[in-house]
Homo-oligomer: A and B are copies of this chain.
Amino acid sequence: MPSNPDWVKALNESGRPGSKCLELERDKSNVDVDKLATFLFTNEILQRNARILDILKADPVFDKTQNYFRGRIERIEASLARGKRLRQLTVEHNWTKEEYNAANELISEPTPYGLHASMFLITLREQGTPEQHELFLKKAEAYEYVGCYAQTELGHGSNVRGLETTATWNPDDKTFILHSPHLTSSKWWIGSLGKVANHAVVMAQLIIDGKNYGPHPFVAQIRDMKTHEPLENIHVGDIGPKFGYNTMDNGFLLFNQVKIPHANMLARFSRVDPETNKYMRPSNPSLVYGTLTWVRSNIVLQSGSVLARGVTIAIRYCSVRRQFTDRDAPEDEVRENQVINYTMVQQRLFPLLAACFALHFTGRGMIELYNTNQAMMQQKEKAGKQNAGKVSEDAGQTPRGAGPEELNPGADLLADLHSTSCALKAHASTTAGEGLEVCRRACGGHGYSSFAGLASWYADYLPTLTWEGDNYMLTQQVSRYLLKTARAVNKNFKNTGNFNAVNGDNDTTAILKTYKRRQDIGAAFDVLGNDEDLVAAYAWRVAYLTFQALQHRDEEKQSWNSLLVDFYRLSTAHAQYMVVKNFQGALSSSALQSQLPTPTKTMLHTLFRLHALHTLEKESSEFFQSAACTIRQIQLARTKTVPQLMGEIRPHAVRLVDSWKFPDWQLDSSLGRYDGDVYGDMFKRASEDNPLNNVVFDPNPNSKTLFKRDDRGNLRSKL
């Protein structure tokens, strides 16, 4: 569109401008934004991000101006160009994996190289032998082989064992034959496969002499290295548009009896002996399973900042936006009220603000636990691989396969960690995903505009609720672990006659024992007055629900299927307990105590209480039924404490979101601008940036002409 006429350019916002609103908000609060940001992320990372941001902003290929306007093909074309440049910059600046990831986060949309850089390289590295690293990994690291990880099929998602693609060992010429026997065996949803990959790691059922040895990983070339056209007897393409994630080429892939050499079966953990044609399991894959826990822990950590993006946008905009005068305001009040002053808006946004911090600290706690555990495991491994035999029947599982929760884990702590990571992954990503939509709606009508920056972020995030373990499916694995632990606690009681926690008990065992020990005395948790009691009430509820589920399953012999809804509730309760526990732990940590000034600490404590009490009130029936607290306490939380905490947070809301330090370039949101120039930005994008305003309609329904004028230039991306 030609630039706006001069009389439009001369117009201002009515009333107090948005920039002034945010300035006043920031003046009102004594939260130390920089110190809080440093505590959340460290100075090194904040500086690193700033450095990378400068590089990206200076490069026209990363210009975001047309992002919201492009159609699918144009978007993926732009994103291909960005993926290429990102690779070039990585080489040029010698970026680490963390720096590359930081750049990706700032760009905030997946590129078609995404799965190559993550799953393809990881799988080759972790599941390939040194010879296979030489053969495949080197070229993949040089982006000569561009690949993907092909597991899910059109007819099979979570259930890896049900995959249909076969890899049949052919002893005559020492090859495997990859084959897709049905339409439903088509690989589906595979990121980076649709258009960009020339190789794939393919999960296929290994068949030797008619016997099925379960899913194993194979490397297959799928496109010609010169023309990039599919090889013969391979059918591959993009699976079409999606709710979000449209800059990624999720693909399909079918094989028609395609031969691959013996060397292409990734052989670190299992292989076929080409001489004897026997299946071999040379190694214990338990360390690999840790990958899934690590991936899930990262999802938990990220969920905090994923949600914080939405909360930042919503809280800034609701501080700028005014609507109606307060019903109890004096008669002569002419100015409309800031939307953030309405308790109904606070009730929607402030618990989410608190959740951002809660999830962030929980993710951090998970990753620390994971690292401790890995170090311990590695020591154990060195000390003799005691548990090697126990898991071998499931060898060949991959980082995306079923986790150890389906196996018989050797280490008690590992099992606890895995279960926690499942419960938290499900709960954290659901909280973040659904929270983003709450933020969008809290922005009123303008939340619906793409320029709000919320809808696309929400839609792009949603797959996280499904991948790395579907959020509903995972709750079964958590419950299975909790039931098993409860059985062990009961059995231990039979043997020892007491429920006292002993040194070495993991957290789950400890809370179950505490409950059992106190079951007949009852609990008297001062949930409104004491933080430790508040956490203990959450633990009590988990234990209550666990033993209740155990009774349904073991004594009343109810079917597994009939208990799925209970299991979902149980897993959620466990996750919520872990979150309040981690939040409380972070508050009492010496790092926090030493690094943050008192008003900032106080505010974090207020957020902790809001998070814990608002959740308690929301789930009140379980807290009440388990007698973790009384109905009176719940009523007081609802009517007194929670509203009071909201009021305490109100003046600090803008500074609290500022401390997440999202650059405007990353948010790409009119409503969430740091400077509050919401309306000016919105208007510029709608009028001057909007290519639809370069065409003129013919509105006469009887005319064959659709566009009377079409001045769209060539908007295609280039490198």
Residues of B near A71 (CB, < 8 A) are 69-74
Residues of B near A324 (CB, < 8 A) are 158-159, 162
A154 CB contact (under 8 Å) in B343, B568, B679? B679
Complex Cα distance A326/B476, Å? 12
List CB contacts (< 8 Å) of A406-446 with chain B. 437, 440-441, 444-445
A157, A162, A347 — most chain B CB neighbours (10 Å): A162
* Stretch among A43-51, A213-221, A462-470, A497-505 lining the B interface: A462-470
| Chain A interface residue bracket vs B | 35 or more
A182 CB contact (under 8 Å) in B12, B80, B238? B12
* Shortest Cβ distance from residue A60 to the other chain B in the assembled complex, whole angstroms: 14
The answer to the question of A693 belonging to the interface, with a C-beta cut-off of 8 Å to chain B, is yes
Asked if A237 and B690 make an inter-chain contact with CB atoms under 8 angstroms apart, the answer reads: yes
A241 CB contact (under 8 Å) in B437, B450, B465, B559? B450
* Shortest Cβ distance from residue A116 to the other chain B in the assembled complex, whole angstroms: 9
The answer to the question of A594 belonging to the interface, with a C-beta cut-off of 8 Å to chain B, is no
Known A344-B568, A450-B242, A470-B444: A237·B1 in contact at CB below 8 Å: yes
* Stretch among A82-90, A260-268, A289-297 lining the B interface: A82-90
Known A76-B692, A344-B565, A699-B146: A240·B449 in contact at CB below 8 Å: yes
A240 CB contact (under 8 Å) in B561, B631, B690, B701? B690
Residues of B near A185 (CB, < 8 A) are 14
Asked if A183 and B680 make an inter-chain contact with CB atoms under 8 angstroms apart, the answer reads: yes
- The contact string, 1 if C-beta is below 8 Å from chain B, for chain A 230-261, is 00010101111111110001001010100000
List CB contacts (< 8 Å) of A135-171 with chain B. 143, 146, 152, 154-159, 162, 164
Known A8-B235, A12-B182: A450·B1 in contact at CB below 8 Å: no
Known A88-B701, A228-B698, A444-B470: A183·B239 in contact at CB below 8 Å: no
A183 CB contact (under 8 Å) in B181, B472, B679? B679
Asked if A565 and B692 make an inter-chain contact with CB atoms under 8 angstroms apart, the answer reads: no
Known A242-B449, A343-B561: A8·B254 in contact at CB below 8 Å: yes
The answer to the question of A13 belonging to the interface, with a C-beta cut-off of 8 Å to chain B, is yes
The answer to the question of A301 belonging to the interface, with a C-beta cut-off of 8 Å to chain B, is no
Residues of B near A679 (CB, < 8 A) are 154-155, 183-184
- The contact string, 1 if C-beta is below 8 Å from chain B, for chain A 331-373, is 0000010000111100100000000000000000000000000
Complex Cα distance A239/B618, Å? 38
The answer to the question of A608 belonging to the interface, with a C-beta cut-off of 8 Å to chain B, is no
* Shortest Cβ distance from residue A239 to the other chain B in the assembled complex, whole angstroms: 4
List CB contacts (< 8 Å) of A563-579 with chain B. 563-565, 567-568
Residues of B near A322 (CB, < 8 A) are 155
Known A445-B466, A564-B344: A699·B197 in contact at CB below 8 Å: yes
The answer to the question of A186 belonging to the interface, with a C-beta cut-off of 8 Å to chain B, is yes
The answer to the question of A97 belonging to the interface, with a C-beta cut-off of 8 Å to chain B, is no
Closest-by-CB residue of B relative to A697 is B195
The answer to the question of A11 belonging to the interface, with a C-beta cut-off of 8 Å to chain B, is yes
The answer to the question of A708 belonging to the interface, with a C-beta cut-off of 8 Å to chain B, is yes
Asked if A719 and B704 make an inter-chain contact with CB atoms under 8 angstroms apart, the answer reads: yes
* Shortest Cβ distance from residue A249 to the other chain B in the assembled complex, whole angstroms: 8
The answer to the question of A386 belonging to the interface, with a C-beta cut-off of 8 Å to chain B, is no
The answer to the question of A194 belonging to the interface, with a C-beta cut-off of 8 Å to chain B, is yes
* Shortest Cβ distance from residue A678 to the other chain B in the assembled complex, whole angstroms: 9
The answer to the question of A81 belonging to the interface, with a C-beta cut-off of 8 Å to chain B, is yes
Known A7-B233, A235-B8, A692-B240: A343·B183 in contact at CB below 8 Å: no
The answer to the question of A682 belonging to the interface, with a C-beta cut-off of 8 Å to chain B, is yes
Q: What is the total number of copies of this protein in its complex?
A: 2
Known A243-B455, A564-B344, A706-B81: A158·B323 in contact at CB below 8 Å: yes
Residues of B near A88 (CB, < 8 A) are 701-702
Closest-by-CB residue of B relative to A430 is B441
Residues of B near A154 (CB, < 8 A) are 679, 682-683
Residues of B near A525 (CB, < 8 A) are none
A228 CB contact (under 8 Å) in B158, B186, B624, B699? B699
The answer to the question of A546 belonging to the interface, with a C-beta cut-off of 8 Å to chain B, is no
The answer to the question of A100 belonging to the interface, with a C-beta cut-off of 8 Å to chain B, is no
Asked if B565 and A84 make an inter-chain contact with CB atoms under 8 angstroms apart, the answer reads: no
- Given A8-B254, A241-B450, 12 additional A-B pairs, CB 8 A: A11-B183, A14-B185, A68-B240, A71-B73, A88-B701, A154-B682, A159-B324, A228-B708, A229-B696, A326-B560, A328-B560, A347-B565
- Show 23 residue pairs from A and B whose CB-CB distance is below 8 angstroms, ordered by the A residue: A5-B235, A7-B256, A76-B692, A84-B703, A152-B445, A158-B444, A184-B679, A186-B683, A195-B692, A237-B687, A240-B685, A240-B689, A241-B450, A243-B450, A244-B448, A326-B561, A327-B561, A328-B559, A328-B560, A343-B565, A344-B565, A347-B564, A706-B717
Give me the interface of A with B, judged by CB distance under 8 Å. Answer: 1, 4-5, 7-8, 11-15, 68-74, 76-77, 80-81, 83-84, 87-88, 112-113, 143, 146, 152, 154-159, 162, 164, 180-186, 189, 194-198, 227-229, 233, 235, 237-245, 249, 252, 254, 256, 322-324, 326-328, 336, 341-344, 347, 437, 440-441, 444-445, 448-451, 455, 459, 462-463, 465-467, 470, 472, 559-565, 567-568, 620-621, 624-625, 631, 634-635, 643, 679-680, 682-683, 685-687, 689-693, 695-704, 706-708, 712, 717-719
